[in-house]
Amino acid sequence: MKQVGFLTLLLAVVTAANGMTLHEAIAIAKSRSLAQQRPRIEQQKARGQLDEAWSNALPQIEGNVGYQRALKKGKIFFPNPETGDFAALELDQDNALQANVTLNQPLLTFGRIAAGVRGAKAYSLAAQHGVERQESQTELDVMQRFWTVLLMRDVVSARELSLAVSDSSLKRAERMRDVGLLSDYDVLRVRVQAQNQRPELDRARSDLQLAELSLREYLGVPIDTTFQIEGSLAEYALGVDTAEVESDLKERDDIMALRNAAVAQENLYVIYRNARWPVLGGQLRYQWQWQNNDWDVHPRNNYSALYAGVSLTIPIWSSGATHGKALQYKADWRRAELDLAQAERGARLQYESAAKDLKTAQENESAAQLAVQLAEEARRIAQTKFAQGQVTPLEMDAVQLDELTARVSLADANYRRLLAAARLRLALGQSPFAN
């Protein structure tokens, strides 16, 4: 509750200050996102099952208190040897109060209680790994949405600048046409180029709004919440540690969850497999009783007793019910092991695919950086020639547009490289967020 209160306060401060970092967004998502709720509910269920399993190994104490009022008393009659008459003897008192406390302790269950505790512990560990895996997935989901906002913000800025350059080119072309330096056809070409920039700008602005909406929805905050995303893609640099790939793949939270789930299913099978054996239990019972026509209590109208004993419960014949349940849980155990084997192979495939995606993204980013460098060099050459009168203003504007396009491609390549690195970290069971 303290953590939820802190994160609620953090959201209020972030909203008021109109600024949010990636770290703050991840913290809010882990607290408020609906994706986090199901694993936590499962974890709470696992804790309850563990408590229940331990209770089967501990004493069970039950108490009972009862009061009875005799509305019509029972009687027996004895003959009087002197007179021959029959005398009545009342069997009950007006008031009767009884209390007892019973302690039951299982002594021998042929491994059923121990298997139940082991299974509950394994299920609890599986639920914990499930929560941790979902937290890692939440980090990746928030990072993708957060970086998409940063990317689209850069794209919008570039599109706005491209439109400004195109509009400036159009005005310059119209002035040159007025003095006879350009034809109407040349002006029309420039106007078409300028108009082509407007749909791209509108699309980029729409994509930015959708990216911000997706981020707010995933964070679990009101859709009309306004905040400014801080930072830029250039600030993030994710590294991936691939020194111990095999051990990292085996220790992934989702793999560990399935491994512990298989252990839990195995112990459930052990419980029902051993259900055909008898159960030895011990009992200790204390009883107190009082009867009287009045409401006074003294040693003559009450008594207490203490009993101890053992009992052996023997299953003789269940018409195949116990054996059938054992077979069902054995099948569940085998299915859990099969799910684990498939998940381990899937983890290897996910790693290989993510590693290739990262390599491709890095190569594309290098190509995009080279394209920006070439575009910058072309712009510098064009500026020199423009100063010497060898390049027209329209040609100069076209070179600037090429550079803006190259920078947009570089921002997209940077975004894809960051996302590929984060996915590779997740494939290795590492936290995607490590900046």
DSSP 128-172: HHHHHHHHHHHHHHHHHHHHHHHHHHHHHHHHHHHHHHHHHHHHH
The angle at the Cα of 416, spanning 232 to 233, to the nearest 5 degrees, equals 5
> What is the CA 261 to chain-centroid distance, rounded?
17
Residues 66/98, Cβ–Cβ less than 8 Å: yes
For tokens 């500026």, name the residue. 383
Side chain identity at residue 339, one-letter code: D
> What is residue 18's predicted lDDT score, i.e. its pLDDT?
55
Does domain 2-32+109-277+318-427 correspond to CATH entry 1.20.1600.10? Answer: yes
For tokens 């290739």, name the residue. 356
For tokens 């008192």, name the residue. 93
The DSSP code for 233 is G
By three-state DSSP, how is residue 230 classified?
A: coil
pLDDT of the chain, 435 residues: tens digit per residue: 444 444 444 454 444 445 789 999 999 998 888 888 889 999 899 999 889 889 888 899 999 999 988 888 777 767 777 776 777 666 677 788 899 999 999 999 999 999 999 999 999 999 999 999 999 999 999 999 999 999 999 999 988 888 888 888 788 778 878 888 778 887 787 788 778 888 888 999 999 999 999 999 898 888 887 778 888 888 888 888 888 999 999 999 999 999 999 999 999 999 999 999 999 999 999 998 888 766 665 666 678 899 999 999 999 988 889 899 999 999 999 999 999 999 999 999 999 999 999 999 999 999 999 999 999 999 899 888 877 778 777 787 788 888 888 999 999 999 999 999 999 999 999 999 875
> Across the strands, what pairs with 304?
288
Domain coordinates in residue numbering, the chain: 2-32+109-277+318-427
- Angstrom distance (rounded) from CA 214 to CA 208: 10
